[in-house]
Amino acid sequence: NLDLENIEIPSMLLQPFVENAVKHGIASKNADGKIAVSFSNHGKNLLLTVSDNGKGFNADEKYEGLGLSLSKNRISLLNSIYKETPFVLAINSSNAGTKINLTLTDWL
């Protein structure tokens, strides 16, 4: 059980991932496009998840859009500030959709 009203996370942390889910994930679907944003705890870690049922993308390709690149840079910057509580980004994508997991280590 999370007390979401008392958990603070850096502002605009998830916004680029939600925007990408709309723009690149479900925008091309005629119907039934779904985006889910969830927060869960794993011990002292806070797990933030953004998932969609869109077309997905090849995570192995060298090209990254500006939003994803800027998000990774921002996470690196946050990791230099929050050294004791690193942020860990994991991206899984297939033709069934994309799932972004951002773990805030020892955040709770």
Which domain CATH number covers 73? 3.30.565.10
Is residue 100 a part of any domain in this protein? yes
Residue 60 has pLDDT above 70, yes or no: no
Is residue 48 a part of any domain in this protein? yes
Is residue 1 a part of any domain in this protein? no
- Domain of residue 99 covers 12-30+42-104
Is residue 6 a part of any domain in this protein? no
Is residue 3 a part of any domain in this protein? no
Is residue 5 a part of any domain in this protein? no
Residue 62 has pLDDT above 80, yes or no: no
Is residue 35 a part of any domain in this protein? no
Is residue 82 a part of any domain in this protein? yes
Q: What whole-number percentage of the chain has pLDDT above 70?
A: 94
Residue 59 has pLDDT above 70, yes or no: no
Could you give the strand order of the β-sheet that contains 97-104, starting from the edge strand earlier in sequence?
35-42, 45-52, 97-104, 87-94
> What's the pLDDT tens digit per position in 10-27?
999 999 999 999 998 999
Q: Identify the CA nearest to 100 among candidates 80, 71, 77, 78.
A: 71
The total domain count for the chain is: 1
